[in-house]
Amino acid sequence: MGSLIGNLRGTTFVVIDFEALTPAGRPAEPTEVAALALVVRGGRLVEDGRFASLIRPPSDVPVTARDLAGGMTEAALRSAPPPAEVLAGLERRLTSPPYRLVAQHASTEAGLIARQAPHCPTLGAAPMLDTLRLAKRVLRGLSSYGLDALLRHYGMPPPRGRHRAMPDVEATAEVFRRLLADGARAGHWSTLLDLDVAAGLRPKPAATAAEDLPVQGELFGPGH
């Protein structure tokens, strides 16, 4: 793990999570976002700032009791800033490139970010590492690779406030740290390029393609 951490120096990992409404027949609408920055400092991957905000859904999208978790209220959502404003606010905190986004089941987060890309171009252009995909590489044979299953595997209780954005981000960040360590010990990765390949961000070098078994400064600046 030590050599991997050394090779990750200079990269900022932004662990991100959205909560969202899923109206029938239209794209998901975000209701909350949280992000937590991780950087290498003192030989460890440590937090370097965080951001969280509720997000106002469109007025014509209903909010049901199932959509309200951990003390969230419809009144608070209806008075929150719109997604373009929130994502632009997060974008302004991005001050320490290069970045890798980190998310659990990252396609959901990627789709929500893509819809707001004009307001957060740096965020929208950052490559994304999926902890689900990394876990499939490292933890063979689990019956599930959802966040709750990964927490159980590592003996971690679900965070208080599970299914709110910041508790889920904190849990994902800890899972990510453990996956990095397990993958490094198993020889799956020792550099950022290795992580990118494992996450599908870059093609596998031809020389090693046959070697793998198949796979089933502060980020946020002042005021964070």
Write the pLDDT tens digit of every residue in 96-135. 999 999 999 999 999 999 999 999 999 999 999 999 999 9
**Sequence-separated (6 or more) residues with CB below 8 Å from residue 169:** 15, 16, 17, 34, 35, 36, 50
Over residues 188-210, the mean pLDDT reads 80
Q: Tell me: pLDDT of 171 over 50.
A: yes
- Half-sphere exposure of residue 177, counting CA atoms within 13 Å on the CB side? 18
Alpha helices, DSSP H, located in the chain: 2-7, 74-78, 83-92, 106-115, 121-125, 131-138, 147-153, 165-185, 192-198
Residue 212: pLDDT band by 50, 70, 90 thresholds? very low
Q: Answer whether residue 147 shows pLDDT above 90.
A: yes
Residue-wise pLDDT for 43-83, tens only, equals: 999 999 999 999 999 999 999 988 898 889 999 999 999 99
Q: Label residue 202 by pLDDT band (50, 70, 90).
A: confident
Task: Read off the pLDDT band of 164 (50, 70, 90).
Answer: very high
Examine the pLDDT at 216 and tell me if it is beyond 80. no
